[in-house]
Structure formats: C-alpha cells, structure tokens
Amino acid sequence: MEESIVASDEEYLTEEEEQPEQRGIKRKHEDDEDDEREQINQDDEQEGGTQSTSHDNSIVVANHYNKLQEKGLAERFNSKIFYLRNFNNWIKSMLISDYLEKIKDSMQHGSPLRVLDMCCGKGGDLLKWHKGRITYLICTDIAEISIEQCRARYEKITANDPPERKSFQAEFFTADSTRDRLRERYIDPSIELNLVSCQFAFHYCFESPKQAEQMLKNVSECLKIGGYFIGTIPDAKDIMKRQRAAQSDSFGNDVFNIKFLSDPDDLPIFGAKYNFHLDGVVDCPEFLVYFPAFVKLAKRYNLKLIENVRFEDYFQMKIGKGRGLIEKMQAAERFSLNGNRNLSRSNEEEYKHAKDFLLQKGGYENRRKCGTLSASEWEAASLYMTFAFQKVKGPIE
C-alpha cells in the first residue's frame, strides 16, 4: 500500500468546541454539580421498581451476543463490513500495543504483566495479548457462549506451548461487569493488574449511574497505581451531531443504523438509549456515554484521563507506525486510479474521497493507489473514539 487514507479532512471534520447538539445531554448535568450522585440515590430508592426492566436490557444484550455465530473467513470476506471490522481491529491493536509498551517501559524487566479483558466477547483480542507477551489474562463477559468460545480460542492459540510453560496463563468467567463485583470471582482476588481493557463495551454501563459506578469499581479495584484503563466507545457528541443533522430519531446508511429509544431533545445523563444496528454483527440497545460524566465518575475511582481520541484522529496519529499492520490486517481496501475490478462496492460514490485524494496528490506525488474504506464503512468507523485513563494515588482535582 503506497498511502493509506480513509477520508479527506474536509469531509469528516471534528469540531473541538462543544456543539449545540450536545445540549440535550448537557443541560441536566449543568443544572447541578451533584446530579449523577442524585441519580444514584434515586436508583437505589427505585431499585425494586426499575430493576427488572434494567436487567431485561442486560438479558437482551447477553442473548444477542450469545446468538452471534462464529463466521468463517469466506463469509467474513464477503461481508459489507469486512474492512471496517479489520480497521476497528487495527485501532484496538495500536491502542493495546501502545499501552503495553508504556507499561513495559515503566516496569522492571521480567516483572509479570497482568491484564483484565473486560467484556472480552469471543476473545477477539487474544492474539494481541499473545503478541504483547503478557503474563496473565482475566477474560470476562456477560455472554456465556462467548466466554466458552474465548476459552477455546485461547486453548488453540497456546496449543503448541508446553503445558507447564504456556506463553500466558488465563482465566475465564461469565459475569455482568455492571452489576457483579469481579474481584470476588478472580482465582486470586488479591491480583494486581497492570492494564484493564474494555473494547466496544463500556457504553453498556451507562444505563444507570449505579451500573457505571460498579463497572468503574471493577476497573479500578485491582489496578496497580500507574496502571492503565483503555477502551473504545461510540462518541456521544458525534452521535448527537449526526442526529441533529438528520433531524430524525433514526439515521445511518447501508451498514449501520442508530435509532433513538430516548427522546433526543431531553436525554438523561445515564440511560440515554438507542438501538445500534451494524450489518450482521450488532443489533441491540446501547447507551450514550456523556464523556464529562464518565471522566468525573472515573475520578472517584482514582482514574485520571490521559487521552480520548476520535478514531479518525487516532488513525492519523498512528498511521506512521501502523502502516504495515494496516496492510497485514487488511484494514483498508486498495483503491487505484488505474481501475478497480475488485472493490467491495460497485457504487463509485463510495470511493469518491479516495479518488479526489489521489487526483489531488497525484499532481505532485504521482500516486495512483491508496488504501481506503468505503464512505459507508468510514461513516460507521468514525462514530467511535478511544480513551485511556491512568490509576493514580491520591484524589484527582
């Protein structure tokens, strides 16, 4: 691949300032500094009345992920979101390797490196942990079948290791990270973790303040001082921006759709619910993560925000280092000015940004080929952001 682009800047600008479309979720937060605390209290009081509905949601999510079939390579290749999934996987690879490096740089050579993969699913990140040469991994997820598949995948990856000297040891259990205390389920509850990773899943805890608190308690409880909490979530600000632009409760394209189940003009900080549909992979309720509330809550658990970066910016930041991996992971599709017989989409509009990019570049760099995502896939990829927190000793200002 000569050059990797996914979209031109003009088409997918991020705006730094808070946009009016944020007001729906912001208003309540601004009204009262202790708003989240109030919501927690209300939650406690109403527990009997609201719990069943709330649990129903977790059951829907668990059932949804349990039902997802493992797809073969051919089926995955023919999916409309083949490159999008690989691109998301590349982002995770870069994020994970970045923080594993930071951890290794700060610890004594030969010290154990222990990781919690919270909401691990079928173990999509197991190879990353293997390549990252960690010592110990805890895998947990609400979906029992996913955990079984994750364990099986781990056995496969480590099958050639001598049993007494596996490349890394691991434990697996089913739990609701938003309700259960994970520590009580660990083989060693006194374990000290270097890294907690929660990929494409933290948003499920924003159903209620109580669930968000439990999730963050689970993150922080066994994390060493100096250890990191990393993840990927939908960017609520961007979702609101798109909802406002669409002037509809439902928007998307042929690969994804978001349908608001809460009133977009009067969103609560917790429980702002929408249904997310992603072609053949996701179709279940999710919750907007109002980021300032996330940061504020995290502080209570001594987790200090290090960075939060939208995927499109993260791509720009990491492409220098991760170009080779993009190609290896097939995280972008080859587009050429000389003809494109093998593109996944026949609609030329899907690659207009790549063509414009090359025509513009070609003038002075003579580039004829680049790597890209179709416009529809990019619209879905650019819904997301990465985040990283560090566990610190004292209270955070």
Which two three-digit tokens encode residue 308? 């939060």
Is 176 annotated as a binding-site member?
Answer: yes
Cβ neighbours of residue 110 closer than 8 Å, sequence gap 6 or more? none
Nearest position to ligand SAM, beta carbon: 121
Q: Which is nearer to ligand SAM, 124 or 371 (CB)?
A: 124
Least spacing, CB of residue 196 vs ligand SAM, in Å: 12
Q: How far apart are CA 190 and CA 166, in angstroms?
A: 22
Nearest distance, CB of residue 173 and ligand SAM, angstroms? 11
**Which residue, 18 or 70, has its beta carbon nearer to ligand SAM?**
70
Q: Residue 8 or residue 58: which is nearer to ligand SAM going by CB?
A: 58
Which residues are CB-neighbours of 357 under 8 A, at least 6 positions away? Answer: 5, 8, 370, 372
CB-based burial label for 95 (10 Å; 0-12, 13-18, 19+): buried
- For residues 5 and 175, which CB has a smaller minimum distance to ligand SAM in the complex? 175
Which residue blocks in 158-310 are alpha helix, DSSP H? Answer: 209-221, 236-246, 291-300
Q: Shortest approach of ligand SAM to residue 153 CB, angstroms?
A: 11
User: How do 303-310 and 136-141 pair as beta strands?
Assistant: unpaired
Contacts 24+ apart (CB under 8 A), 15-19: 18/237, 19/237, 19/240, 19/241
Strands (DSSP E) along the chain, which ranges? 114-118, 136-141, 169-174, 193-199, 223-234, 250-252, 256-260, 273-278, 282-287, 303-310, 333-336, 369-372, 384-391
Give the nearest distance from C-beta 56 to ligand SAM in angstroms. Answer: 13
Q: Rule CB under 6 A: which residues touch ligand SAM?
A: 58, 61-62, 65, 119-121, 124, 141-143, 146, 176-178, 199-201, 204
| Smallest gap from residue 7 Cβ to ligand SAM (A) | 23
Q: Is 92 annotated as a binding residue?
A: yes
Query: 256-260 and 250-252 as β-strands: parallel, antiparallel, unpaired?
Result: antiparallel
Nearer to ligand SAM, 233 or 373 (CB): 233
Residue 329 backbone zone (phi > 0: left; psi -120 to 50: alpha; other: beta): alpha
Kindly tell me which of 12 and 202 has the beta carbon lying closer to ligand SAM.
202
Q: Report the nearest approach of ligand SAM to the CB of residue 231 (Å).
A: 9
Burial of 133: CB neighbours in 10 Å, binned 0-12, 13-18, 19+? exposed
390 among the known binding-site residues? no
Q: Residues at the annotated binding site?
A: 88-89, 92, 119, 141, 176, 199, 204
Q: Residues at the annotated binding site for mRNA?
A: 88-89
Q: Residues at the annotated binding site for S-adenosyl-L-methionine?
A: 92, 119, 141, 176, 199, 204
